[in-house]
Amino acid sequence: MNNEAIMQEDIKVLKWTSIKHYIYLGIKRGFDIFVSLVGCIFLLPLMLIVKICNVISGDMNSVFYKQKRIGKNGKLIYIYKFRSMVPNADEVLKELLEKSPERKKEWEENQKLENDPRITKMGNILRKTSLDEIPQMINVLKGDMSLIGPRPLVEGELDLHNGNHELYESARPGITGWWACNGRSATTYEERLNLEYFYVKNMSLSLDIKCVIKTALAVIKRDGAK
């Protein structure tokens, strides 16, 4: 086979690979829309239950929490969650980090705190069951997020851990992902990034199916949920 024939074969392979990728993305988006519509139906009664529980405990503030995150291609998005912390959580965190060098170091390394004093009793239940993520079905329906993808990060978080913006932000962020179903909070931040990179590099229907199954098992077993 001459060089021209080889080049033609390579072009055909690249075109077919590109076509398969776009087919995959189309199926993925269709699945996102279907599941998010169903999820939004369940969101309403769940919202009522959370509100009633909060009111009983004396918390009259909104059940929702909106936070700025980084989406695909570095676009700024706002994600929605059930509020699992006290209303003035940001102020409490700032004060906590100023008073405790150990807490500050823990936050800088993991962007999380063990036994976080800001989490409410209802919030702890929401987190343990991963129900605090349900409002992000709205983000999925809007197209800011996908059901499966790397978790959306806050501004500056990736830089703090020397992350790869081009790779990490090349896919829509997800409600769950390869990191979320493979250890989640039980992993180091470096391990977390490597798991997210793996998904972005190997996105496929088979990997998404594995992710859905592993996520369901992780939620049932409460693996890594904090």
pLDDT digits (tens, 9 = 90+) for 170-218: 999 999 999 988 877 678 889 999 999 999 999 999 999 999 999 888 8
Residue 110: inside a domain = no
Q: Residues 13, 19, 25, 30: is their CA dihedral positive or negative?
A: negative
Q: What is the pLDDT of residues 129-170, one digit of tens each?
A: 889 999 999 999 999 999 999 999 999 999 988 999 999 999
* Residue 7 included in any domain: no
Q: Is residue 77 part of a domain?
A: yes
Contact 171, 72 (CB under 8 A): yes
- Euclidean distance between CA atoms 56 and 74, whole angstroms: 40
Expressed in angstroms, the distance from the first to the final Cα of the chain is 59
pLDDT tens column, 81-135: 999 998 888 888 888 888 888 888 888 777 778 788 889 889 999 988 889 999 9
3-state SS, residue 2: coil
Query: Taking the C-alpha atoms of 108, 106, 139 and 208 in order, what is their torsion angle to the nearest 10 degrees?
Result: 100
Domain tally, the chain: 1
| pLDDT score recorded for residue 106 | 82
In this structure, the number of other CB atoms found within 10 A of the CB of residue 32 comes to 22
Structural domain contains residue 96:
no
Residue 198 in any domain: the answer is yes
- 71 is a domain residue: yes
64 is a domain residue: yes
Q: What 3-state class would DSSP assign to 116? A: coil
Alpha carbon distances (Å) from 189 to 139, 153, 160: 25, 12, 11
Q: Which domain holds residue 208?
A: 29-84+119-221
95 in a structural domain: no
Residue 85: both structure tokens together: 């912390």
